[in-house]
Amino acid sequence: VIAGLGNPWPVPKQSRHNLGALVVEALASTLGLERDWCWHWGCLSWICWVRLGEQSESGEGVAAERGEEGECPSVRTATSVPADCHFALVLPSVPYNFSGFAVRRALDELGAQVEDLIVLHDDIDLSPGRHSLKAAGSAGGNRGVRSVQESLGTDRVRRLRLGVGRPPTGGRIPAAIMTHVLGQLEEDLLAQWCDAAQSGELAKLLEIP
């Protein structure tokens, strides 16, 4: 289960705080699944199933053919998970700092465990364009991550930290940090991660075959 943290409307979609969600959307687009998102009231999230079909001639996995346009699998209960579902992409549609509720409920609906989860989120302690994989540990002041850890009752949550850097001035002042993360995401930074999705680099980071 790959979950991308972000803020719903009215926070601008192209904000730094939405980088995790935007990268997950880029991954879905690369797999040809940008129109396959389905809304799930039970976890207040958008979920996209990823089924892997037969091997391509290059030996790389390819996304299986989608159903008819508008057709969405029902995931009201964990028993409805498709047998050929390889993994799921999840976009919580709740305020960033309260992401834990949605992520926990999504895992419940999918019949998944904490060990199956990887969370993508922005990180001010990494320079823009840098990234870091983390298997456990402190949220580092990120309230969205802290919410996920508290809701799941563990800090052993795998994460892909996506650097957005600190504000040029007042880098330790909460108000300055809030303004920074809610500010406009740099186009080249988003393009870097879209390119990573298209090239397969992101899939390798997430250990997607």
Question: Which of the residues are catalytic?
Answer: 17
65, 74 contact by CB (below 8 A): no
Enumerate residues 6+ apart whose C-beta is below 8 A from 65.
53
Closest alpha carbon to 45 in 106, 129, 116, 114: 106
Token pair, residue 56, equals 């391509």
The DSSP result for 144-174, as a single string, is HHHHHHHHHT-S--EEEEEE----SS-TT-H
CA distances for 18 relative to 12, 42, 84, 139, 152, angstroms: 9, 22, 30, 17, 22
Residues paired with 50 in a beta bridge: 87
